[in-house]
Structure 1
Amino acid sequence: MSIDKFMKHATTGWMTSHGEQSDIVMSTRIRLARNLRGHRFPIASTEEEAQKVDEAVTASLLNSNENGYAYMKMSDIPALERQVLVEKHLVSPQLINPDRHGAVILSEDETLSIMVNEEDHIRIQCIYPGFQLENAYEHADSVDNYLENELPYAFDEDFGYLTSCPSNTGTGMRASVMMHLPALTITKQIERIIPAITRLGMVVRGSYGEGSEAPGNVYQVSNQTTLGKTEEEILSELKNIVLRLIAHERRSRELLLSKSKIALENKLFRSLGIISYARLLPSGEAARCLSDVRLGIDLGIIEDIDMIILNELMIFMQPGFLQQYAGSELTAEERDIFRAKLFRERLHVDRQSTENSSEE
């Protein structure tokens, strides 16, 4: 399977399905960090050592009974296509650094990606639609168990799995939930909620992880430490916090509807108008408007637009995918023009198909 298959479509597996609590929880991700015993961590390894790790991991996986795995070495992929993989959440920004000698193994449905020579030798990542912590963990754990039977992991009886970053030592697990929290953001409650979550041992980041912003009111909530807790305890604590966030977001949405329904409808339909008809569409404005339209759909205010279309547009709006789709490098202004064009076309196709089906 070639890189072209993963470049062809904007959406990945988790974007084309609906999971539990999908009006607020967009996706659930489990990442497991593992290293091979007897090899230096990637940050200190040579190209030859990185190649040996790559060969060991890929040989174990590609020779397994699983079908549909695709292997891609980062150095063989053009920079723009590497960026698209990041924008689709298939690899981390760190992996595409040319100094990493990294690679990725992807499942055909893109719910599983195994990064090789990222911050650690192995990063197993599973992404599921909606709120599915247990299912995502079971999938990642099954892959981890298979690899551990094939390869010698760096493990200590006292500290657990040894990792490049001390904060990952222990279970080596990062469980995260990507949430759309527009009502909490509009009412500014998110400003007091984030510090409270941090005090509970969790962390809130933007949709692309550490150091990223939260455009479109999309936040990642994840565990902060992995040492001294079991995987089950981490999942349970995260689940409780996410359920509380969901409840707060629902109450805030109800409050907005009851106290300022006309103003809310005006805001949401204005955003729909912008992404439907704009000729220049900067990424920040696109993210804000997509958030408003998504909220409008969830509240039943905006109809006849499929949420999958909005998921596609979340990726379409990113600079890497825009340029990949255009087939050339674009200036900032050219990206804004092309982004607006893509939005108009995609929303028009969606509406046209709805009208045609209703006529039939």
Structure 2
Amino acid sequence: MGNNEYMQNAVTGWMVPHGEHSDIVMSTRIRLARNLRGFRFPIAFSDEQAEEIGKLVSDALLNGGKTGYAYTRMSDLKALGRQTLVEKHLISPQLADAVHYGAVLLSEDETVSIMVNEEDHLRIQCIYPGLQLENAYRKADETDNLLESRLPYAFDEEFGYLTSCPSNTGTGMRASVMVHLPALTMTKQINRIIPAVSRLGMVVRGSYGEGSEAPGNVYQVSNQLTLGKSEKEILAELANIVSRIIVHERKSRELLLGRSRLSLENRVFRALGTLSYARLLPSAEAARCLSDVRLGIDLGLIEDVDMNILNELMVFMQSGFLQNFEGGELTAEELDSSRAKLIRERLRQRAADGEPHPDEP
């Protein structure tokens, strides 16, 4: 498989800018936590129970009329393969660490992934590009209904779906929206927004969830509680809060453009120059430059770069992907070199106006 084919196959659906407010909202994710009646939670189950759960879940889906899914055990993947799935947001870091008993059922188009034996027996995840809460929930709910018709879910009439972590009990649903907020970060307004969002029952985290950072000014906004609210109420509240964040981000962008246009132009074109010519790119610098270039495109300052590559490169620049791409483990300097080379080549291949990128020396 050639390099171009490898990268094309690595592109997953949410990386393509699409859907409402796709200039700010990168993706929408719905995750449903479910457990099977009669089995201990993963924190306390036996290897035999883990094996049985995996078989029950895979049989329920694959033998239940669903096609286009692949069942993969974490033990069948090398560490770099598991890390790449995390970087693509298809599995959680916790599942990647569950080498002995974890598994994933992944749809062909990678919009749906069903994590088996993570914190709960099942975590049904649907991820769409842009702001598509209703569409993502509808797809997740469809998969959930199919599995529930074939599996004995642990459900209580008073408390709802029973989960390993009490905060997920109830609907078992976590809805999250991944947003790019460079202007709010530059103006430091993000430091006021995060606690304000928390007071409204939502949480703002890094792009890989709890405990993660926000490289490239990418944040994840999600609901905190699932008990006592319906799925419809959670989705409506999250949509309202995300809409308000989008309004604040747009106003901050207009403010930066109006008050500091020359400085902003200098920043975004310096970032483009770095991505186009650098020979060594640490991950933090690459994420910052990609964020700045994306902002430049959104504001109409940069017109000759294809927006499609920006979401892709936020994943392709990660260490797991790069090492898989290169075929083995890399040193820190080799990673920085590979990252810089891949970004240079991708910008050259996908220039929106078709103009050739300067040749490599």
Q: Output the aligned Cα RMSD.
A: 1.5
Amino acid across the alignment from 1:229: K
* Partner in structure 1 of residue 39 of structure 2: 39
* Partner in structure 2 of residue 190 of structure 1: 190
* Partner in structure 2 of residue 268 of structure 1: 268
In structure 1, the residue corresponding to 2:36 is in which secondary structure? coil
Alignment of 1:123-162 (within 5 A): 123-162=123-162
**Cα deviation digits, residues 203-243 of structure 1 (max 9, x gap):** 00011011000000000000001011111110111010000
Q: Tell me, in whole angstroms, the C-alpha distance in 2 between the residues paired with 1:347 and 1:65.
A: 42
Say if 1:100 and 1:118, in contact at 8 Å, map to a contact too: no
Normalised by the length of structure 1, the TM-score is 0.95
Amino acid across the alignment from 1:338: S
**Cα deviation digits, residues 117-140 of structure 1 (max 9, x gap):** 010000000001100000000100
Q: Tell me, in whole angstroms, the C-alpha distance in 2 between the residues paired with 1:344 and 1:352.
A: 14
Q: Tell me, in whole angstroms, the C-alpha distance in 2 between the residues paired with 1:302 and 1:174.
A: 36
* Partner in structure 2 of residue 97 of structure 1: 97
Q: Tell me, in whole angstroms, the C-alpha distance in 1 between the residues paired with 2:179 and 2:333.
A: 30
Q: CA, structure 1 residues 121+100, in 2 after alignment: closer, same or farther (shift >3 Å)?
A: farther
Q: CA, structure 1 residues 54+342, in 2 after alignment: closer, same or farther (shift >3 Å)?
A: same
* Partner in structure 1 of residue 167 of structure 2: 167
Q: Tell me, in whole angstroms, the C-alpha distance in 1 between the residues paired with 2:50 and 2:353.
A: 50
Q: CA, structure 1 residues 86+157, in 2 after alignment: closer, same or farther (shift >3 Å)?
A: same
The reply to whether residue 338 of structure 1 matches residue 343 of structure 2 is: no
In structure 2, the residue corresponding to 1:29 is in which secondary structure? strand
Q: Tell me, in whole angstroms, the C-alpha distance in 1 between the residues paired with 2:349 and 2:137.
A: 37
Alignment of 1:69-88 (within 5 A): 69-88=69-88
* Partner in structure 2 of residue 57 of structure 1: 57
Displacement after TM superposition at 1:351 (Å): 2.7
* Partner in structure 1 of residue 230 of structure 2: 230
* Partner in structure 1 of residue 14 of structure 2: 14
* Range with greater deviation from structure 2 (5-14 or 77-86): 5-14
Q: CA, structure 1 residues 133+140, in 2 after alignment: closer, same or farther (shift >3 Å)?
A: same
Q: CA, structure 1 residues 211+184, in 2 after alignment: closer, same or farther (shift >3 Å)?
A: same
* Partner in structure 2 of residue 181 of structure 1: 181
Q: CA, structure 1 residues 39+6, in 2 after alignment: closer, same or farther (shift >3 Å)?
A: farther
* Partner in structure 2 of residue 257 of structure 1: 257
Say if 1:103 and 1:116, in contact at 8 Å, map to a contact too: yes
Q: CA, structure 1 residues 58+170, in 2 after alignment: closer, same or farther (shift >3 Å)?
A: same
Say if 1:161 and 1:171, in contact at 8 Å, map to a contact too: yes
Displacement after TM superposition at 1:355 (Å): 2.7
Q: Tell me, in whole angstroms, the C-alpha distance in 1 between the residues paired with 2:64 and 2:86.
A: 26
Say if 2:74 and 2:99, in contact at 8 Å, map to a contact too: no
- Percent of paired sites with the same residue: 72
Amino acid across the alignment from 2:302: I
Normalised by the length of structure 2, the TM-score is 0.95
Q: CA, structure 1 residues 41+139, in 2 after alignment: closer, same or farther (shift >3 Å)?
A: same
Q: Tell me, in whole angstroms, the C-alpha distance in 1 between the residues paired with 2:332 and 2:58.
A: 38
Displacement after TM superposition at 1:9 (Å): 2.9
Displacement after TM superposition at 1:36 (Å): 0.2
Q: Tell me, in whole angstroms, the C-alpha distance in 2 between the residues paired with 1:313 and 1:333.
A: 19
Say if 2:26 and 2:311, in contact at 8 Å, map to a contact too: no
Q: Tell me, in whole angstroms, the C-alpha distance in 1 between the residues paired with 2:164 and 2:264.
A: 47
Displacement after TM superposition at 1:16 (Å): 2.2
Q: Tell me, in whole angstroms, the C-alpha distance in 2 between the residues paired with 1:254 and 1:9.
A: 37
* Partner in structure 2 of residue 327 of structure 1: 327
Amino acid across the alignment from 2:328: S
Amino acid across the alignment from 1:31: R
Say if 1:322 and 1:335, in contact at 8 Å, map to a contact too: yes
The reply to whether residue 108 of structure 1 matches residue 97 of structure 2 is: no
Displacement after TM superposition at 1:99 (Å): 5.1
Displacement after TM superposition at 1:8 (Å): 6.7
* Range with greater deviation from structure 2 (194-203 or 6-15): 6-15
Say if 2:17 and 2:23, in contact at 8 Å, map to a contact too: no
**Cα deviation digits, residues 256-275 of structure 1 (max 9, x gap):** 11111010000000000001
Unaligned stretches of 5+ residues in structure 2: 357-361
Say if 1:313 and 1:343, in contact at 8 Å, map to a contact too: yes
In structure 2, the residue corresponding to 1:101 is in which secondary structure? coil
Say if 2:306 and 2:352, in contact at 8 Å, map to a contact too: no
In structure 1, the residue corresponding to 2:127 is in which secondary structure? strand
Say how many residue pairs are matched: 352
Displacement after TM superposition at 1:352 (Å): 8.6
Displacement after TM superposition at 1:315 (Å): 1.2
Say if 1:275 and 1:343, in contact at 8 Å, map to a contact too: yes
**Cα deviation digits, residues 64-105 of structure 1 (max 9, x gap):** 222211110100111110110111111000001145511000
In structure 2, the residue corresponding to 1:351 is in which secondary structure? coil
Amino acid across the alignment from 2:351: R
Q: Tell me, in whole angstroms, the C-alpha distance in 2 between the residues paired with 1:84 and 1:234.
A: 30
Q: Tell me, in whole angstroms, the C-alpha distance in 2 between the residues paired with 1:68 and 1:230.
A: 30
Say if 2:178 and 2:218, in contact at 8 Å, map to a contact too: yes
